[in-house]
Structure 1
Amino acid sequence: MTRPSPTATTSAPPRSTYAKYLAALGPGFLFAGAAIGTSHVVQSTRAGAEYGIGLLGFILLAILIKYPAFFFGPFYVSVTGKSLIEGYRRTFGKTVVALFALVQLPVLAIIIAAIAITTAGLAGSLLSLSLGAPTIAVVLIAGGCLLTYTGGYRMLDWVNKVFIGILSLTTLLATLAALPMVEWSLYPATAASPLFSAATLVTLVAVLGLMPSDITLAIMNSLWSEARNKARGERCDTEAEKVDFDIGYIGAAILAACFVIMGAGVMHSQGITPADGAVGFASQVIGLYTSTLGEWSGFVVGISAFTVMLTTLLTVLDGFPRMLTAAYHAITRPDGIEEETRRVEGSRPYLIAMLGLSLLAILILFTLMGSFRLFMDFVMVVAFLISPILATLNHFTANGASVPAELRPSRLINAWSLLAIAALVLLSLGYLYARFIH
């Protein structure tokens, strides 16, 4: 869909096609690790529990539609060597970068809190801890900050690949076992609300908000690609970036479908209502596996689900501060200086951003967590309403003056991107009308 860019920024010796693709792998897996979190474990499972497979088509369609907005992250790195944050600066100026960081600051803290409380719920369920979920979440955030800050990109990349592999295998097995229990109806009569209703639209927006993830993940992906390139000493071309990204993106889509099917087969078919508390819901998720794979799988799968949620927490504890640090560098770099020489990973601004976001997330955990379900819906809706803006920024950055005309996205993917932006705007307006006006 895109024309290839120069393959490297250094005079590295030619490598085989297989070696080129293998060397590129990393950011796409981190994308999957960040995406396969609350959106999959919580919202996809809940969608299946309440609507059977009635919302599965909408979820897959949303993932398909959002593809260009996410792909423009690694694409931009492949043709410029720079992250989307730098692309925003070159395309729209420092003011837009500053506004982006300002608006994202509370959103990022809310997402960290949402991921931490879900991870804490799994930990509490597995270990039968007497501590409250918010307290466990604080411990996880503190430990995650320490691991991420000291381990950096290489540690994150390795840990993520191992745990994503474990969860993917067990989830596929559990899904296959749940298939016979699914009611294969386009929209079951037993769904929580009629298809054409305000209640279903509100639920759909809440489910799609982070499906497969918040579009800020495109920016994080570009920063991880930039970090990988620096670690390797050369830049991956567009084709290799696309292969790496597609593996992570398609994997996230497949696992989203798996969690919907498990929720539909195990919970919806038996009329099990999703629990409102983090620990209670986590216990139900683990129960999806034990009821399909057998009691032996409960602890094993529970551990894998916890470790993947922990990996999700680690990726955002790295990616969000990385993003804010890159924004700070873009804003404070004097005009006329194109190359950024300051380091992002492990720098003082990175540490300040990590600690600041973590403290804000902890504050949210102890003040806004009256209802796990309402809190999760709020997170998803906020992410969804911001999506059209981020998708627009990514589209025009990928087609901006900083990208040579011959290397810009093809007409097909640009048309796809504009269609996605229009769909996101219309659905957001529909949600606002159904929620506050109708």
Structure 2
Amino acid sequence: MNWSKLKKTLGPGILFASTAIGVSHLVQSTRAGANYGFALLGIIIITNILKFPFFEYAVRYANATGETLIDGYKKLGKPVIWIYFLVTIASMFFVTAAVSIVTAGFMDNLFGLSSIYPSFKLFPVVIVFIVSTGALLTGKFSVLDSLIKLIGIILFISTLIVFILTLINGPSEHESSFSPLDIFDDVGILFIIALMGWMPTALDMSCWTSLWVVEKIKSTNYHPTLKENLFDFNLGYWIAAFLSICFVTMGAFLVFGTGTVLPKSSAGFASSVIELYTSTIGNWSYLIIAIAAFSIMLGTSIGVFDGYSRVLQHSSKILFFPEEKTNSKRIYIISLIILALGSFSITAFFMGEFKNLIDLATTISFLIAPLVAIANFKLVGKKYIGEVATPKVHMKLISYLGISFLTGFALFYIYIKFLK
């Protein structure tokens, strides 16, 4: 593989990883370990494996056709693109709100913003919204993104060090009266669904990966080989998958059975996560870890704002302005403003209900995952991308298992929640 050409390819996979390593890892994986020990580790590994093909197909389709998955959904029929558009509208405000409130928690923990205006509890969230939308409106995201990727590497190395030291030191001593939670009761089942929703991230975000691949090709004027694009994506995906295991381990070894209860507020939870690092590495590392964790969450927040706005921009042009030469930048800005206003309203409504908002957003993502999985699988048939680029037999087998897995759990959730 030619390194000079590979450098032109690298980017979308790293951006995927930096977006994925957010709520699903810092919050959900840590909660899984802290509340259930290693009981959910198998679920996390299986989910990462069974969702992998449908993310990979986004890269495969974009490389083979030079188009995004959204363009592909149009080829599957107008009802498909409409369903995706409506599903995006239904979920984007909750997902963006959830990411923003977690980001605000890490920002508040680092800068103590809530102490500036104690009576205005939404102040840290307002700052996150201003920074996220401002970076995209002013076109400064590229500079910030480069910095976030660098800090993301620091967080990755720090997490790896804590993971290794945690394994060496072994689990913390359990309380004598400790009794583990039941993963098979209704609360446990509902948490499992929420955990799988964003493991390693929401499946409907596979469209973003195809958008980033297409944009990378345009910006570099270089069309990578399929092998180069897949190398970039696989690197980012499996780093994100591995880090989810690291966070589960940290929660299981350092919190599970100790009597420590993770706070329900976003700022308190952020402080507890950072304490997992400092208690293992040393207090001297607090500022480094706090900055790295906040930065990776800010990168996730900006990535979510950008991803949903691009999806709305692209799908709106296909659905409402197919023949017109509309101003894409204008549609993007309008989409970004709508997303910000709607998400902020959700955030204000759920203020103080940090855990419930996270579980709701991740559950919504899981319930729509089977639809996205089926559509992505259909688009990598030779009818759409040619025989050379179609996935191998083992990927097709994992796809069938993944669709069955996602559909089965989605139906089980509906039964538990509404029919039982």
TM-score range, shorter chain: over 0.9
In the other structure, the counterpart of 2:410 is 428
Aligned with 1:276: secondary structure?
coil
TM-score w.r.t. the length of structure 1 is: 0.89
Asked if residue 418 in structure 1 is aligned to residue 413 in structure 2, the reply is no
Aligned with 1:95: secondary structure?
helix
In the other structure, the counterpart of 1:169 is 157
Asked if residue 303 in structure 1 is aligned to residue 291 in structure 2, the reply is yes
Check whether the contact 1:27–1:221 (CA below 8 A) recurs between aligned residues. Answer: yes
Measured in 2, the distance between the counterparts of 1:144 and 1:182 equals 39
In the other structure, the counterpart of 1:42 is 27
Aligned with 1:159: secondary structure?
helix
TM superposition shift of 1:181: 5.0
Match of 1:86 among 66, 71, 93: 71
Report how many residues are paired: 412
Code of the residue aligned with 1:397 in structure 2: it is L
Check whether the contact 1:120–1:133 (CA below 8 A) recurs between aligned residues. Answer: no
Asked if residue 372 in structure 1 is aligned to residue 354 in structure 2, the reply is yes
In the other structure, the counterpart of 2:181 is 193
TM superposition shift of 1:240: 0.6
In the other structure, the counterpart of 1:242 is 230
Match of 2:106 among 109, 122, 146: 122
In the other structure, the counterpart of 1:144 is 132
Q: Could you say what the CA RMSD is over the residues aligned between the two structures, in angstroms?
A: 2.1
TM superposition shift of 1:293: 0.8
Check whether the contact 1:149–1:318 (CA below 8 A) recurs between aligned residues. Answer: no
Measured in 2, the distance between the counterparts of 1:393 and 1:365 equals 31
Match of 2:336 among 318, 335, 354: 354
Asked if residue 96 in structure 1 is aligned to residue 84 in structure 2, the reply is no
Q: Identify if the C-alpha distance between structure 1 residues 302 and 22 changes in structure 2 by more than 3 Å, giving closer, same or farther.
A: same
TM superposition shift of 1:415: 1.9
Measured in 2, the distance between the counterparts of 1:219 and 1:155 equals 23
Code of the residue aligned with 2:165 in structure 1: it is A
Match of 1:106 among 87, 90, 111: 90
Aligned with 2:138: secondary structure?
helix
TM superposition shift of 1:314: 1.1
Match of 2:378 among 396, 399, 404: 396
In the other structure, the counterpart of 2:260 is 272
Q: Identify if the C-alpha distance between structure 1 residues 134 and 208 changes in structure 2 by more than 3 Å, giving closer, same or farther.
A: farther
Measured in 2, the distance between the counterparts of 1:333 and 1:398 equals 27
TM-score w.r.t. the length of structure 2 is: 0.93
Measured in 2, the distance between the counterparts of 1:353 and 1:149 equals 11
In the other structure, the counterpart of 2:318 is 330
TM superposition shift of 1:190: 5.6
Check whether the contact 1:182–1:269 (CA below 8 A) recurs between aligned residues. Answer: no
Measured in 2, the distance between the counterparts of 1:18 and 1:268 equals 44
TM superposition shift of 1:163: 2.1
Deviation track 1:132-169 (CA, whole Å, cap 9, x = no partner) reads 55321122112111112333674365234212111101
Measured in 2, the distance between the counterparts of 1:351 and 1:310 equals 20
Match of 1:134 among 117, 122, 125: 122
Measured in 2, the distance between the counterparts of 1:157 and 1:237 equals 25
Measured in 2, the distance between the counterparts of 1:170 and 1:242 equals 27
Measured in 2, the distance between the counterparts of 1:269 and 1:119 equals 28
